[in-house]
Amino acid sequence: MKKTIWITGAGSGIGEALALAYNHTEHTIILSGRNKTQLESVSKNILNPYILPIDVTQENQITKAVATIKSTFGNVDILINNAGVSQRATVSETTNDVGRNLMEVNFFGSVHLTKAILPMMKKANKGSIVAISSAAGKFGFPLRSYYSASKHALHGFYESLSLELKDTQIHTMLVCPGRIRTDISKNALTGSGKSHNQMDQGQLNGIPVEKCASKIIQGISSKKAELYIGGNEILLIYIKRYFPFLFRLIAKRVNPK
Ligand SMILES: NC(=O)c1ccc[n+]([C@@H]2O[C@H](COP(=O)([O-])OP(=O)(O)OC[C@H]3O[C@@H](n4cnc5c(N)ncnc54)[C@H](OP(=O)(O)O)[C@@H]3O)[C@@H](O)[C@H]2O)c1
């Protein structure tokens, strides 16, 4: 069935893999992110791409983008709030400005975009809204304080939203990837806001990004509420839930890089 799919952070990593996995003559894939050149490069492999560069931290850009989508497509069937940035610094090393920026991108960026698209979805009484959280949205982790907090915040927001939407046909899903092999650690922010610029060992050992995209697409099709994707690190979510003491013992020993 013909679908209009809007993916943020579509110029790289999980967003790019989702765009390629959804690529089909019937679908229109709206590619968003800040770097237009990267979006154009991804769009070359997409049959029906629509490039819509935005910075999700800028509310005026979100408003403009949603108006463009409304006039061009009328609605979107699937919104995937995937844009995000990680952190590689201790609490003490991270300036307040960098911490606030992590919240702006990972939490408010996702939330503001969702709020802006909701009226269209409510009018059509259909659609899927996906928030890419993280395993770090289920437990804290060294060098990820603000990142983990921003992802935990997504859970409070989207769980509340899904309950508010109980009498509609609008589906919401939170995705918690563990370690997926992308450039996320290179793009992660240090305490002063510079790029960490290193491919961490944990990232390198992560599962292939195509596998992650395929599981997200299956989750959307089967209208899952929450999805965990990754390797053994996903066990930590269950250990934290059922044996919090054991979680602390294990997490202290895991290399955060
Ligand atoms: N890889 C993992 O192991 C992993 C694990 C858990 C969760 N995740 C989550 O998965 C999502 C995708 O990450 P990834 O692994 O694919 O890393 P990535 O390759 O670094 O992708 C992040 C994307 O977000 C975009 N972005 C960053 N800031 C933005 C902003 N202000 N406005 C719009 N777009 C912005 C970036 O594009 P521009 O720079 O062009 O804007 C980039 O395409 C993130 O939410 C991340 O937290 C990843």
Question: Residue 228 maps to which CATH number?
Answer: 3.40.50.720
The lowest-confidence range among 91-100, 141-150, 178-187, 246-255 is 246-255
Percentage of residues in the chain having pLDDT higher than 90: 98
Quick check: pTM over 0.85? yes
Residues 176-205 have a mean pLDDT of 97
Q: Which of 95, 101, 10 is nearest to 57 (CA)?
A: 101
Q: Within a domain: residue 147?
A: yes
Q: Within a domain: residue 257?
A: no
* Residue 1 pLDDT > 90: no
What is the overall mean pLDDT for the chain?
97
Domains held by the chain: number: 1
* Residue 163 pLDDT > 90: yes
Residues 81-93 have a mean pLDDT of 98
Residues 123-144 have a mean pLDDT of 98
Domain that includes residue 124, residue range: 4-251
**Pairing of β 78-81 and β 49-51:** unpaired
Which ligand 1 atom sits closest to the C-alpha of 180? 3
Cβ–Cβ under 8 Å, residues 67 and 116:
no
Count of C-beta atoms within a 10 Å radius of residue 84 = 27
Question: What is the C-alpha end-to-end distance of the chain, expressed in Å?
Answer: 42
Q: How far apart are CA 3 and CA 1, in angstroms?
A: 6
Q: Within a domain: residue 256?
A: no
147 among known catalytic residues? yes
Ligand 1 within 6 A of CB of 9? yes
| 208 DSSP assignment | P
Cβ–Cβ under 8 Å, residues 87 and 102:
yes
| Per-residue pLDDT at 218 | 98
Q: Sign of torsion, CA 101 112 62 51?
A: positive
Residues 112-133 have a mean pLDDT of 98
Ligand 1 within 6 A of CB of 82? yes
Q: Tens digits of per-residue pLDDT, 199-217?
A: 999 999 999 999 999 999 9
Q: How far apart are CA 158 and CA 154, in angstroms?
A: 6
| Per-residue pLDDT at 256 | 86
Residues 134-160 have a mean pLDDT of 98
| Per-residue pLDDT at 250 | 94
Q: Within a domain: residue 236?
A: yes
* Residue 7 pLDDT > 90: yes
| Per-residue pLDDT at 246 | 97
Cβ–Cβ under 8 Å, residues 134 and 182:
no
| Per-residue pLDDT at 95 | 98
| Per-residue pLDDT at 32 | 98
Ligand 1 within 6 A of CB of 182? yes
User: What is the 9 CA–ligand 1 centroid distance (Å)?
Assistant: 5
